[in-house]
Amino acid sequence: MARLAQTPGLTDVQTSILETVREFVDKEIVPHAQRLERADEYPADIVDGMREMGLFGLTIDEEHGGLGESLLTYALVVEELSRGWMSISGIVNTHFIVAYLIAHHGSPEQRAALLPKLATGEMRGAFSMSEPGCGSDVAAIRSTARRDGDGYVLDGQKMWLTNGAYSSVVATLVRTDDGADSRSASPTGSRVGNMTCFLLEKEPGFGETAPGLTIPGKIAKMGYKGVETTEMVLDGVAVPDSAVLGGPEQVGRGFYQMMDGIEVGRVNVAARACGISIRAFELAIAYAQQRHTFGEPLAGHQAIAFKLAEMATKIEAAHQMMVNAARLKDAGARNDVEAGMAKLLASEYCAEVVQESFRIHGGYGYSAEYEIERLMREAPFLLIGEGTSEIQKTIISRGLLKEYRL
């Protein structure tokens, strides 16, 4: 086992899970990732293997058919999957967030109906906040749910749904007119108290997958291929009161529910960044020992050796911050600042580590035959996903000012 990114204090069960996932990554993901990514092909065989291992139910409690593992276990599994291919981690990321939202905010009926199917992977989850006109400014959401008899009718357009096609339930944040009329702390004064999260069930696939709910097609991307990213069009989607996350009494609480889920997502992005960084380092240190220049291996040149030292140090720092944020959440403590710090540091360091690995590869790094070329296209996504670095700095600074207020 490599020395980098070790996590002390794991249980025997956690260690066993990670060893199994690591072996799966090395045998079933790494050898196929380049071909699948180049073809933008959905990794059906890999997903089937993940289902067989029970990874879709990793954090779902045993009562509902899952493994009942912690956020830390989930983050470390995501780190391993991302080391193989970041797109694979994307397949489980939004699924885990939806499972978390249902487990922590869902009604007893929602938990009983959805969690067992999510645990087996029979039903997959997607998470929807962004829209064409808003990304980081969640309070600017314009999609609506209006009262209609004993239920609601949803209209609007959502954007950037990972698992948009293959999912069967989408946790969707929209604006309602019957929630509390509170105001956010954002400079725009946008209302967040009248936002509600709905669990929209649909058939997997593209086109009209439920009455009024359309998944138009895949969005073409620079990287993060294989896993589909889609839009979602809501045109008169009728749902009952029971589709509100947590039940009708939770109308108007959607923003706060989703932000709780986003904290889980930020730990996930930090874990993804760590996984990609580890892979970039593995590629660099192997290449630096195999490639010879001026009569000796690249690693024998101080300039390259120092790059490797800096890359490893950044990986270690990012990994430890990610682990800390996950453990805080598992302990029931607030971790918005720590999750923001972990996501900020890990994603920025990931971009730097991948670029250094690319430089060590020289001209070969620009070739699509080399894995580092793919990582160069994947790393930038992490600077944006689950909130940009600037958003993380806003979250961190606000949290610190509250703690250190004079």
pLDDT tens readout for residues 345-403: 999 999 999 999 999 999 999 999 999 999 999 999 999 988 899 999 999 999 999 99
* Annotated catalytic residue, options 37, 338, 356, 386: 386
pLDDT of 186 strictly over 50: no
Query: ∠ CA(36), CA(42), CA(43), 5° rounding?
Result: 70
- pLDDT band per the 50, 70, 90 thresholds, residue 135: confident
Percent of the chain with pLDDT over 70: 96
Using CA atoms, how far apart are residues 344 and 389, in angstroms rounded to an integer? 5
The model's confidence at residue 184, banded by pLDDT at 50, 70 and 90, is very low
Mean pLDDT across the stretch 142-156? Answer: 95
pLDDT given at position 191? 63
249 labelled catalytic:
no
Asked if pLDDT for residue 192 goes beyond 80, the answer is no
Instruction: Decide if pLDDT at 304 tops 80.
Output: yes
Q: How far apart are CA 156 and CA 133, in angstroms?
A: 11
Taking 70 as the threshold, does the pLDDT of residue 52 lie above it? yes
**260: pLDDT strictly greater than 50:** yes
Nearest C-alpha neighbor of 178 from the set 131, 261, 241, 256: 241
DSSP 320-369: HHHHHHHHHHHTT---HHHHHHHHHHHHHHHHHHHHHHHHHHGGGGGSTT
What pLDDT was estimated at residue 137? 82
Task: Give the pLDDT band of residue 1 (cuts 50, 70, 90).
Answer: low
* Most confident among 108-112, 131-135, 191-195 (mean pLDDT): 108-112
